[in-house]
Structure 1
Amino acid sequence: MCGIVGVLSGQPAAPLMMDALRRLEYRGYDSAGLATVSEGGLTRRRAAGKLSALQEVLEREPLKGVSGIGHTRWATHGPPTLENAHPHVAGRVAVVHNGIIENHAALRAELSAAGSTFESATDTEVVAHLLERELADGASPQEAMARVMPRLTGAFAFVVLIAGEEDLLLAARRASPLAIGIGDGAAYVGSDAVALAPLTRRIIYLDDGDWAVLRRSGVSVFTGDGTPVQRPEHVSTVSAAMIGKGNFRHFMEKEIYDQPEAIAHTLHTVIDPGTGVATLPYPLEDAESVSKITILAAGTSFYSGLTARYWLESIGGVACEVDLASEFRDRKAVLPKGGVVIAVSQSGESLDTLMALRHGKSLGQKVLALVNVPESTIARESDGVLLTRAGPEFGVASTKAFTAQLTAFLGLAIALGQARGHIDKDEVLRLVTALEGVPGRVAEALKDTSAYHAIAHELSRAKDVLYLGRGLSYPIALEGALKLKEITYVHAEGYAAGEMKHGPIALIDEHVPVVIVAPSDGWFDKTASNMAEVRARGGRVILLTDAHGAKELGGSADHLVVLPDVAPEVAPILYSIPVQLLAYLAAVEKGTDADQPRNLAKSVTVE
């Protein structure tokens, strides 16, 4: 969600920060602002809405200074107004902040009683006032941070700019991510390495609870109790060249078309391209000893986990459970000795998944991270990492990260099945061959999208849409419905097709489009029966199938999308493409923002 940037350099800070904030737009936001130190004093510019509104303010009222902080805010405490936009200022202190200060109400009451006056409804402002009070009492900036940090509870990241201190930024993180960039005679800070990519590739990641003092000459890091500590410097794998839209209208469109490459790159992390052998990452290397796998995820990643459950049990031969990360800690789960938790997150920073990971560890489970960002918090806190290689994903609605997750999960299932003796060599070869053919089949599916436009037109004007699928197609139906909801705001629900008679069938009439995900697999005949039930009640059928399915059922569909033939096991990866395209094209038809849908954020860093 919210984006943070801070700059200490010899160049004007405002243009650098605006450029960095544009690279953080994918996180989602509803207001933005900058503050700089110039001629010893703080100057601030803010605007509700998109960065274009802030740019207009800057064109009227430019910001001087080579030191500054910037922010894109996704509203939590207080509505998305100018008054609540960051940075927040108290006296000499300006603060930008992600996350939530949980004890802000008690701190605000204390500060108000002591004479502080608040200008916003945000929790952030209490940090500025606490620091200003310490400075007023004679503390140095470093001493002020050391005193304030223990007083804050919650999950947060913040950066501080102080009037009169043109060579100083203070930064802190607790659960929310924060990256520090090291330049030549410069220092930077951002919510993630993407923001800093054109500025530097030398990155320091603060550990949970750390805070730091940044100067152009170097960075000093401290633990939560103020103890000096060294954190390693990394060379980021994110480059400035990886963040453009090219000739596409939206990042989401580009990322849909990136999928053959993203899947192929991810294949090489799970299938050795030289030998064709699927490999197992730690802590699954001793496959026979794994008693159970528990997948923890949220949103789209949860649906990749639901798909993986079929594969891990039927191919891998290991018991598997899938839990919503936000529910896992509260249901008192019983996990067996020898169990492994797989934490799934595109960003590797989703707070609910991170907290669920930590709870899984506390229950004695080994943890494998399945993430797209190797430097992320979830990756660093796990025992092992299974890396997807989708590249940066900027559209809020996940596309290539999802199919990369599916690819990694299927490769993992094959490796487990082979190691546990659950599948023989011939079956391994068949599955690996099918998986290696997926990038080509996805490329075929993307060559001609003419059939999608009429369907998208109908979906964009619908009040309700149902998605149905059975077996491996059920999670894809769920994902298709989520995509449509996310970026078109059309109400959509995904169901296991066999459950239709248990309630959802009551919703079907001639005004309800029903998207049916139906590859020719072991569930096809039953899905065909469900489709007949939809037709009998006047529902508008949109059939996603292959050549065989089109021959059998195409004449009964109002709209037909025919996909290349693939093995049933890899069909979920391929059939993700049409549900993504339908949602995207419906959003274009409707005129909604496909990249930054309302109320949503790319990385959810509050619970």
Structure 2
Amino acid sequence: MTSAPHPGPGPAGPPPMEPEVMLRQVVCLADDIRGRAASVAEQVRALPGALDLAGVESVVIVGNGDSDHAARAVEMAFRSLAGVDCRPVSALPFTHYRKPAASPARVLTVAISVSGGSPLVVTSAEQARAEGGAVVALTANAASPLARSAYGTVLLDLPGQEPSPGVRTYQASLLGALLLAIALGQARGHLDRAAAEMLREELGALADAIEATVDESVRRTRQLADRIAHAPVLTLLGSGPSHGSALYGAAKQVETAAVFAVGQDLEEWCHVERFAGPSDLPVFVLAPAGRSSGPALRVAQRAADLGRRLVAVAPADRLDGFPAWAALPVHGQVREEFSPLLYHLFAAPLACHLAQSLGRVPFAAGRPGHAPAVPVRPATPATVKEEGR
């Protein structure tokens, strides 16, 4: 879930955030992995035996906002590393439209809320537990309503965390969920002990790749932001785990810079959004090595053929032919299940630089009383004719 925004400026509240908070957040990510991966893994190992992870046959991951994006980003990891069916479900559909499981004891509900107070996520956990299902909370607040609603809690606390659109908290949610997927795979016998330990070591070893990718992203997104700041909409595309990363990346542009941005699946963009104009709309294609690599390259070519301002987020050795402003390299080798830890890293610095280019601050446009940068004229017959609408 996105960190709570500051109140608006005025005598009763502190001044608004500055966009530079996004840079401070993103440069902490490598050290967060170095400092927290082992302790989070220990918490996951220490989850109570009453959860009976060995008997779990399916997983439902519930969240809102960033937490929902994280759920979609780790779905593949639960399917492949734990060997279970996995469904990410945002909290409102979970609480209002879900049919209770026929065998709730075999369903693990993973409820994600960094604050631990997201009302519908808490209700989701309470419903799942009341039905007899196992519930694990991923939260930064051990005393929160969500933690009290779960059988077990994985604490995602971060030292020195400051209010901001979620960046460090998003990585912490991904890390907790991925480590839970590994533990579940081990408990079910889908992974042996050696394989599980190897996967945990892989996660910890990603810190260097995160650091290198962040360093380059901070430099490259400054020029990119100047080129696309005034586009009417940004579109971010990815499939599999990268669909979650695309949704998250779009959310950061909205929250930080008040830029309208959308995340979409690669194939769905081909069916719908590719028909939208103007022809030079910026399109970001997330293309990690893995199952969606080929489709991502084909969609990128189609976007380029349509005249879109194509931006590729891809392994550093696969960006030949892209101009520097349109290439966002991802460093290091990573399995697709863990790729969400690397393929969201461009989003925070891009959001910061867009906000700086446009003279905006995080969350401002969503506050009551905030004046839009460009006055909006009501649509009257006269203005419709004048503007050719």
The alignment's TM-score, normalised by the length of structure 1, stands at 0.56
1:46-85 matches, cutoff 5 A: 47=11, 50-51=13-14
Whether contact under 8 Å (2:33, 2:204) holds in the other structure is no
Give the Å deviation of 1:443.
1.5
Residues 451 and 52 of structure 1: CA distance in aligned 2, closer, same or farther (over 3 Å) = closer
Name whichever structure is richer in strand by fraction: 1
The one-letter code sitting in structure 2 at the alignment partner of 1:360 is: A
Whether contact under 8 Å (2:256, 2:355) holds in the other structure is yes
* 1:543 corresponds to: 312
CA shift digits 1:13-49 (9 cap, x unpaired): xxxxxxxxxxxx95432476xxxxxxxxxxxxxx47x
- Is 2:30 the counterpart of 1:264? no
Residues 321 and 258 of structure 1: CA distance in aligned 2, closer, same or farther (over 3 Å) = same
* 2:112 aligns with one of 322, 334, 344: 344
Mapped to 1, the partners of 2:356 and 2:114 lie a distance apart of: 25
Mapped to 2, the partners of 1:378 and 1:485 lie a distance apart of: 27
Whether contact under 8 Å (2:226, 2:354) holds in the other structure is yes
Mapped to 2, the partners of 1:578 and 1:548 lie a distance apart of: 17
Give the Å deviation of 1:521.
2.2
Give the Å deviation of 1:329.
1.6
CA shift digits 1:159-200 (9 cap, x unpaired): xxxxxxxxxxxxxxxxxxxxxxxxxxxxxxxxxxxxxxxxxx
* 2:157 corresponds to: 389
Give the Å deviation of 1:425.
5.0
* 1:291 corresponds to: 57
Mapped to 2, the partners of 1:557 and 1:468 lie a distance apart of: 20
* 2:89 aligns with one of 323, 328, 332: 323
* 2:128 aligns with one of 352, 355, 360: 360
Give the Å deviation of 1:285.
5.4
Whether contact under 8 Å (1:283, 1:340) holds in the other structure is no
Residues 582 and 284 of structure 1: CA distance in aligned 2, closer, same or farther (over 3 Å) = farther
* 1:480 corresponds to: 249
Give the Å deviation of 1:444.
1.7
CA shift digits 1:25-76 (9 cap, x unpaired): 95432476xxxxxxxxxxxxxx47x5469xxxxxxxxxxxxxxxxxxxxxxx
* 1:404 aligns with one of 159, 172, 178: 172
Matched position secondary structure for 1:323: strand
Whether contact under 8 Å (1:267, 1:436) holds in the other structure is yes
Whether contact under 8 Å (2:94, 2:124) holds in the other structure is yes
Residues 299 and 425 of structure 1: CA distance in aligned 2, closer, same or farther (over 3 Å) = same
Residues 252 and 284 of structure 1: CA distance in aligned 2, closer, same or farther (over 3 Å) = farther
Mapped to 2, the partners of 1:262 and 1:555 lie a distance apart of: 32
Matched position secondary structure for 1:598: helix
CA shift digits 1:119-139 (9 cap, x unpaired): xxxxxxxxxxxxxxxxxxxxx
- Is 2:222 the counterpart of 1:431? no
Mapped to 1, the partners of 2:288 and 2:171 lie a distance apart of: 17
Give the Å deviation of 1:584.
1.9
Mapped to 1, the partners of 2:268 and 2:204 lie a distance apart of: 33
Give the Å deviation of 1:556.
7.6
Residues 406 and 508 of structure 1: CA distance in aligned 2, closer, same or farther (over 3 Å) = farther
Residues 582 and 559 of structure 1: CA distance in aligned 2, closer, same or farther (over 3 Å) = same
Matched position secondary structure for 1:589: helix
Name whichever structure is richer in helix by fraction: 2
Mapped to 1, the partners of 2:154 and 2:243 lie a distance apart of: 25
* 2:290 corresponds to: 521
* 2:183 corresponds to: 415
Whether contact under 8 Å (1:280, 1:415) holds in the other structure is no
The alignment's TM-score, normalised by the length of structure 2, stands at 0.85
Mapped to 2, the partners of 1:529 and 1:566 lie a distance apart of: 22
Unaligned runs of 5+ residues in structure 1 are: 2-24, 33-46, 54-244, 602-607
- Percent of matched pairs sharing the same residue: 22
The one-letter code sitting in structure 2 at the alignment partner of 1:345 is: S
Mapped to 2, the partners of 1:392 and 1:283 lie a distance apart of: 32
Mapped to 2, the partners of 1:343 and 1:550 lie a distance apart of: 37
The one-letter code sitting in structure 2 at the alignment partner of 1:598 is: A
The one-letter code sitting in structure 2 at the alignment partner of 1:428 is: A
- Is 2:251 the counterpart of 1:251? no
Whether contact under 8 Å (1:283, 1:367) holds in the other structure is no
- Is 2:220 the counterpart of 1:454? no
The one-letter code sitting in structure 2 at the alignment partner of 1:281 is: L
- Is 2:331 the counterpart of 1:564? yes
Give the Å deviation of 1:469.
0.9
Give the Å deviation of 1:509.
4.5
- Is 2:365 the counterpart of 1:598? yes
Give the Å deviation of 1:465.
0.9
Residues 577 and 268 of structure 1: CA distance in aligned 2, closer, same or farther (over 3 Å) = same
Matched position secondary structure for 2:104: coil
Whether contact under 8 Å (2:8, 2:364) holds in the other structure is no
Mapped to 1, the partners of 2:50 and 2:179 lie a distance apart of: 13
Whether contact under 8 Å (2:223, 2:325) holds in the other structure is no
Whether contact under 8 Å (2:73, 2:244) holds in the other structure is yes
Give the Å deviation of 1:600.
6.4
The one-letter code sitting in structure 2 at the alignment partner of 1:292 is: S
Give the Å deviation of 1:351.
1.5
Equivalent pairs counted in the alignment come to 363
* 2:380 corresponds to: none
Larger radius of gyration: 1
Whether contact under 8 Å (1:469, 1:495) holds in the other structure is yes
- Is 2:7 the counterpart of 1:29? yes
Residues 355 and 461 of structure 1: CA distance in aligned 2, closer, same or farther (over 3 Å) = same
1:489-508 matches, cutoff 5 A: 489-507=258-276
Mapped to 1, the partners of 2:323 and 2:21 lie a distance apart of: 35
Give the Å deviation of 1:373.
1.8
1:85-164 matches, cutoff 5 A: none
CA shift digits 1:506-562 (9 cap, x unpaired): 1254330001111222321111001011011000111111123214xx438861011
Whether contact under 8 Å (2:283, 2:309) holds in the other structure is yes
Whether contact under 8 Å (2:7, 2:14) holds in the other structure is no
Mapped to 2, the partners of 1:425 and 1:557 lie a distance apart of: 43
* 2:385 corresponds to: none
